[in-house]
Amino acid sequence: MEDVWIMDSGCSRHMTGHRKWFSGLNPVSTKEYITFGDNGQGKVMGVGSVSLSAKLSLREVAFVRNAGFNLVSRFATSR
């Protein structure tokens, strides 16, 4: 289930804990934290692009080491 992505309507941005999936990862200049549904937090280590398939890529994906799931933000896809 490591490579499964979940569409999440409560998530403000795309995120994953898998560094190897990023084609480019830019460090964040400020301390940014994600609050999970269980009220736990994870630090955003960087932001970049992740290819889900040959035809589909996500931009502005947060790399959060302790993210338990790969999340696609429904909000971010509608922008």
- Coil, helix or strand for 57? strand
Where along the chain do its domains lie?
5-77
Numbers of helices and strands, H then E, in the chain = 1, 7
Q: Beta-carbon neighbour count of residue 39 at 10 Å?
A: 6
The predicted pLDDT at position 1 comes to 58
The predicted pLDDT at position 57 comes to 92
- Coil, helix or strand for 19? helix
With a cut of 50, list the residues of the chain below it in pLDDT: none
The predicted pLDDT at position 78 comes to 61
Q: Are 68 and 36 in contact (CB under 8 A)?
A: yes
